[in-house]
Amino acid sequence: MHIKDFAGKTAFVTGGASGIGLGIAKVLVERGARVVIADLRADHIENALAQFAGGTGSNAVSALQLDVTSRDAYAEAAAKMQADFGGIDILVNNAGVGLEGPILKATYADYDFGFGVNIGGVINGFVSFLPQMIAHGRGGHIVSTASLAAEVVMPPHLAIYAASKAAVCHYCEAVKPELAEQGIGVSILLPGPIKSNIHQAIQNRPEHLRAGSGFAESEQKLSERVVGDTWMEPEEVGEMVARGILENSTYIVTHGIFKDWQRARSQAVLDATPDVENSAVRGI
Ligand code: NAI
Ligand code: GGE
């Protein structure tokens, strides 16, 4: 029931018009999948479709404009996928925003923006698409993009981001066994630094969450950051994701550069944990 190859499969990639999502879309198309790119930004969609134009897989790609935080729009998109393709086989919950700013300046607008897209968008993907992925009986796979930020104690100014990504990670881990019973595989993508437009969070903020934001200054500064030339190419991430889907890997990790921070966090939790004899008193 799990995905064994990509030929003839339909994939829905959120945030698929830029960066990591576009890298994933390119690799899935190369391997014979039909890919629907769902993205908030019309400029990114136009640029992405231009990159496929004239290529061998160009007629396997289409795009729709979708804000993953809009539940009504998401339900409509899922209904369209059911009508057009008999439902999707692969869902890539990748849309996310790299918002950052000092926590003492954060307002509810900032919390709502960060959690709304980064975890809310993932939940909306599961809720909108799970029924059709189960009903069509072909099995399938759901990949969600978290971050290595979920596995370390993050540097300052990234608390909302880290918390939203940790939520993605734990949600996916926890639902994996129940979805396995339905023939649906689950993977979590944990990237390190990848070449993308993640610094453009400010442009992805809806008008109603711009008003009252305490992060305007940080996001303006972030928008001027240049993409590092040692950062990984999105297509390389796409290759890792394709392999992760075929192997139904729980974790797809792109970089080993934060391993010491990952270990330190895990060790600190273990160090604070009472011994087995102590906790056996209460049990669960
Ligand atoms: P990106 O900004 O190049 O791509 C994200 C795409 O998502 C953009 O095209 C944007 O228009 C779209 N998007 C934003 N808000 C949306 C919404 N509400 N609805 C639909 N689409 C929306 O950035 P990148 O880096 O490719 O980001 C993809 C994912 O990877 C994000 O979840 C990000 O947090 C995660 N990530 C990125 C890392 C990096 O180093 N670039 C590292 C770790 C995780
Ligand atoms: C490349 O840009 C970013 C960003 O602006 C915010 C977050 C991230 C990338 C990623 O999710 C990761 C980088 O791999 O998060 C970190 C950011 C900064 C330091 C450590 C990080 O993860 C361990």
Domain containing residue 219: CATH number: 3.40.50.720
Task: Specify if 151 maps to a domain.
Answer: yes
Identify any residues that bridge with 63 across adjacent strands, giving them in sequence order.
37
Mean pLDDT of 28-45: 98
Q: In the chain, how many H helices and how many E strands?
A: 12, 7
The predicted model gives 271-282 an average pLDDT of: 76
CA 107 distance to own-chain centroid: 24
Any domain includes 268:
no
Token pair, residue 234, equals 């999105």
Domain of residue 142, residue span: 10-257
pLDDT-above-70 percentage for the chain: 97
Q: How confident is the model at residue 2 (pLDDT cuts 50, 70, 90)?
A: confident
Annotated active-site residue in 74, 108, 161, 171 = 161
Sheet containing strand 10-14, edge to edge, reads 61-65, 34-39, 10-14, 90-93, 140-145, 184-190, 251-253
Does residue 280 carry a pLDDT above 80? no
Distance CA 69, CA 208 (A): 13
Distance 261 CA to ligand 2 centre (A): 13
Residue 283 has pLDDT above 80, yes or no: no
pLDDT class for 88, splitting at 50, 70, 90? very high
Q: What is the pLDDT of residues 223-270, one digit of tens each?
A: 999 999 999 999 999 999 999 999 999 999 999 999 999 999 999 999
* Residue 275 in domain: no
Q: Do residues 13 and 95 touch, judged by C-beta distance below 8 A?
A: no
Does some domain include residue 134? Answer: yes
For residue 146, give the ligand 1 atom closest to its CA.
Answer: 44
Three-class secondary structure of residue 37 per DSSP: strand
User: 147 in ligand 1 pocket by Cβ < 6 Å?
Assistant: yes
Evaluate whether residue 270 is within a structural domain.
no
Establish if 98 belongs to a structural domain. Answer: yes
**Amino acid sitting at position 96:** G
State the Cα–Cα distance between residues 187 and 185, nearest whole angstrom: 7
Average pLDDT rounded to a whole number, residues 57-84: 98
Name every protein residue with a CB atom under 6 angstroms from any ligand 2 atom.
Answer: 98, 147-149, 152, 154-155, 191-193, 198-199, 258
Which are the contacts of 22, defined by CB distance < 8 A and separation ≥ 6? 16, 37, 48, 51, 234
Residue ranges of the alpha helices (H) in the chain? Answer: 19-30, 42-52, 71-85, 108-115, 121-135, 159-180, 201-204, 207-210, 216-222, 234-246, 259-271, 276-279
Q: Is 269 part of a structural domain of the chain?
A: no
- The best mutation among 147, 151, 223 to test binding of ligand 2, ranked by most ligand atoms within 8 Å of the C-beta, falls on 147
The rounded mean pLDDT for the chain is 97
Assigned token pair, 215: 């992060």
Q: Which of 189, 219, 209, 118 is nearest to 160 (CA)?
A: 118
Helix (H, G, I), strand (E, B) or coil at 142: strand
Check if 198 has its Cβ closer than 6 Å to any atom of ligand 1.
Answer: yes
As for how many domains the chain has, the answer is 1
The helix/strand/coil state of 190 is strand
* pLDDT tens column, 172-225: 999 999 999 999 999 999 999 999 999 999 999 999 999 999 999 999 999 999
Q: Is the pLDDT of residue 276 over 90?
A: no
Which positions ≥6 away from 110 have C-beta within 8 Å? 99, 101, 160, 209, 213, 214, 215
* pLDDT attached to residue 284: 63
Query: Could you tell me which residues are beta bridge partners of residue 188?
Result: 144, 251
171 labelled catalytic: no
Ligand nearest to the CA of 198: 1
| Ligand 1 nearest-atom number relative to CA 195 | 41
CB atoms within 10 A of CB 274: 9
Q: What is the pLDDT of residue 278?
A: 62
* pTM (predicted TM-score): 0.97
For residues 167 and 122, give the distance between their C-alpha atoms in angstroms, rounded to a whole number. Answer: 10
Answer yes or no: is 265 within a domain. no
Q: How many residues does the chain have?
A: 284
Q: Which atom of ligand 1 is nearest to the CA of 20?
A: 26
